[in-house]
Amino acid sequence: MKNFFPDLYSDLVPGTSAAGFHLGESLSSVSEKIGLVEWYGPEVMVRDILAKNNSWVGVQRKIGFGEERTLSYRFLNETVSLYFEGSGRLFRITVGERYRGRFNGVAVGDDLRSLGREFDILFNDAEDDFILQRGEDVLMGISFFTDHMAPLDVEPKQFIKFISIHDWSVR
């Protein structure tokens, strides 16, 4: 199948799936679904390319100072992004503007505080994202990026720009 169109209405399942993709899928399997794309290497500034793309593009980035690379497929200006590292397995799916699927009734573009009805919202200053906690348990496999990337006590009104579905153990 070529030019796979992701399911932009698929619910977000922490640590499992989004947009019709499942964490742990192989790079070769995902590549076969998506079909041929134009790839951009680490030396290319891709922001303008992503802003204009109307399908999938491939992006390769260096990790740190070594030779390791992150490969990603980006759909429709990062509406859906799929990330692969050394294992060759899908370890992260991020969804952005124009994605309509939800987690717990909340979607990209919503006020982050709406998650506070069922969870404690914690700012992760190491990654500038937000994670969720219920009681003593942190909800694994999902995080939220906002327009301010600051703690809620500093900037209370923040809107979700991206949601990350991930399983770091698959890297």
Task: Report pTM.
Answer: 0.94
Please state the domain extents for the chain.
17-100, 112-165
Taking residues 41-61, what's their average pLDDT? Answer: 88
In terms of Cβ atoms closer than 10 Å to its own Cβ (0-12, 13-18, 19+), residue 71 is: middle
Q: What integer is the mean pLDDT of 164-168?
A: 98
- Is residue 70 scored above 80 in pLDDT? yes
Closest CA to 84 of 31, 142, 33: 31
Confidence check: pLDDT of 1 > 50 = no
pLDDT tens-digit profile of 83-118?
999 889 999 999 999 999 999 999 999 999 999 999
Q: What is the mean pLDDT of residues 152-168?
A: 97
The segment with the largest mean pLDDT, out of 1-10, 18-27, 39-48, 65-74, is 18-27
Rg, C-alpha atoms of the chain: 16
- Residue 112's φ and ψ, nearest 5 degrees, are -55, -35
**In sequence order, what DSSP letters do the residues of 57-120 get, joined into one string?**
EEEEEE-TTSS-EEEEEEETTTTEEEEE-TT-BEEEEEE-TT----BTTB-TTSBGGGGGGTSE
